[in-house]
Chain A
Amino acid sequence: MQLRPLAICAIVFFTAGLAVASFANFREFIPGLLQGAWITVQITIGGCIVAVVAALLAAIARMYGPAPLRWLAVSYIELFRGTSALVQLFWLFFVLPHFGIVLEPMSVAIAALGLNVGAYGAEVVRGAITAVPRGQWEASVALNMPRKLALRRIILPQAFAAMIPPWGNLFIELLKATALVSLITISDLAFKAQQMNQTTFRTVEIFSIVLVMYLAISILITVGMRALETVAARGMARGR
């Protein structure tokens, strides 16, 4: 379990932040920063959902789809892995309107970050599906299951268990990448912090609180994924 070092880290940072901040009245920053944090959380949750869906679709299309779908999936994966998340955000936000497609900033943030992480996730999904022993496919054929049924009921549930830890990392990457969304006019946690810093110059307090808030969210993700891993592992053991 890696929870203990994480918890210790959190406590150390939190106390340090408090110690410094308590010189000044740090509480005045909390409501504003919490507003920003809520935006960050929303983008993270939305982005993670988009990422998982995109990754599953892309991986399955790439592995089992007909040729056109396969190409589409490969293009998506390569395009979004080969360019930066920032450029993707700018494309969706500043370039698409030139083609008549105007999206809400929040939708753009969720779509861009979700699709970006989804492209990496597709490789995670593919790896996990490939790692399911071949005997599981063969048993499915011997029971006369159509391929789709075997994939859905036999292969994917086993692949999910292997996917959970790498997805935990990707979700945290997504959380960290949310700091980019201030560049498309969204008042997320990082943006709020900068804004307050520019008007008050209370740099140490503000950024200590910000650090603790980001850390708290990422610890929540880690704990959640651990719990999911435990559930998935229950009663499971590979067939060999």
Chain B
Amino acid sequence: MTTPMVKFDNVTKRYGSLTVLDSLNLEIAPNEKVAIIGPSGSGKTTVLRMLMTLERINDGVIYVDGEPMTHMEKNGALVPASERHLRRVRGNIGMVFQHFNLFPHMSALKNCMEAPIHVLGLPRVEAEERAAELLDMVGLGDKKGHYPSQLSGGQQQRVAIARALAMRPKVMLFDEVTSALDPELVGEVLQVIRRLAKEHSLTMLMVTHQMGFAKEFADRVCFFHSGKIAEQGAPEDLFNNPREERTQQFLSAVLEAG
């Protein structure tokens, strides 16, 4: 068996007395596309945020590409990771947010050049070339000089995808990236993600309420319920023949809402 690209090993996350994730075990293979579904508050966002190191974990270890990320080895034991260690491993991961979080004081192109220049140390010319290529790929070749405030939600989200890709991550995280969009703009963003999944060897984790998209996009669907994976499997199985009652209830409620 190959080394998993991402591995949650008994990871627990608490906010005060509230246990949000309860001894989570999850392995994701290189290049695998995983969709995460589940009711609001079940811990889906928290999974991605822990993997992006936006949240510290309370227990367990997260591994990325075979290497502990939340911890590092010291004299044969695992100790909590230093900022330096975190920065090294975190470079493997990119994230796209529900609310885009573009830098409002920079053009689309500059948004995509900032980190490659100042974090990866790419020469400006090369960073610009890469940024322009990626903006072309997400269909915004003619909007390079636009500021976020001059772009529609769908366009902003596509810039955000290009910006994350510019760092050449191995793992991409998408947290409900179409939830803040007007319905007619959802398609253009999903189209970009579809292309990414086909044309790039990326490991992808996607929290979504778009069941139709999850079905065609994902190799595996994980259904979260109260901080645990209640059921997981291939999309055909999970959507067509859910075994758990909670899954059935959730799916019928979502289908009801359309």
Which of A142-150, A181-189, A190-198, A209-217 contacts its partner? A142-150
Q: Which of B101, B114, B147, B163 contacts A237 (CB 8 A)?
A: B147
Q: How many A-B residue pairs have CB under 8 A?
A: 76
Residues of A close to B102: CB separation below 8 A: 139, 239
A161 to chain B, nearest CB (A): 8
Q: Report yes or no: A240 in contact with B105, Cβ–Cβ below 8 A.
A: no
Q: Do B167 and A144 touch (CB < 8 A)?
A: yes
Interface flags for A162-206 (1: CB within 8 Å of B; 0: not) read 000000000000000000000000000000000000000000000
Tell me if A153 is interfacial: C-beta within 8 Å of chain B. yes
Q: Which residues of B contact A144 (CB under 8 A)?
A: 87, 90-91, 115, 119, 167
Could you tell me if B101 and A239 are in contact, using CB atoms closer than 8 angstroms?
yes
A138 within 8 A of partner (CB): yes
Residue B154, interface by CB 8 Å: no
Q: Could you mark each residue 130-166 of chain A with 1 if its beta carbon is under 8 Å from any beta carbon of chain B, else 0?
A: 0001011011011111100100011001100100000
B101 touches A136 (CB 8 A): yes
Q: A143-B163, A146-B87 are in contact. Are A138 and B101 (CB under 8 A)?
A: yes
Interface residues of A, Cβ cutoff 8 Å to B? 133, 135-136, 138-139, 141-146, 149, 153-154, 157-158, 161, 235-240
**Interface pairs (29), CB distance under 8 Å:** A133-B101, A138-B52, A138-B54, A141-B53, A142-B52, A142-B54, A142-B93, A142-B94, A142-B164, A143-B119, A143-B167, A144-B90, A144-B91, A144-B115, A145-B115, A146-B87, A146-B119, A149-B119, A153-B114, A153-B118, A154-B103, A158-B104, A235-B149, A237-B104, A237-B147, A238-B104, A239-B100, A239-B103, A240-B99
Apart from A143-B167, A146-B119, A235-B147, list 7 A-B contacts with CB within 8 A. Answer: A138-B97, A142-B97, A143-B94, A143-B119, A154-B114, A237-B104, A237-B147
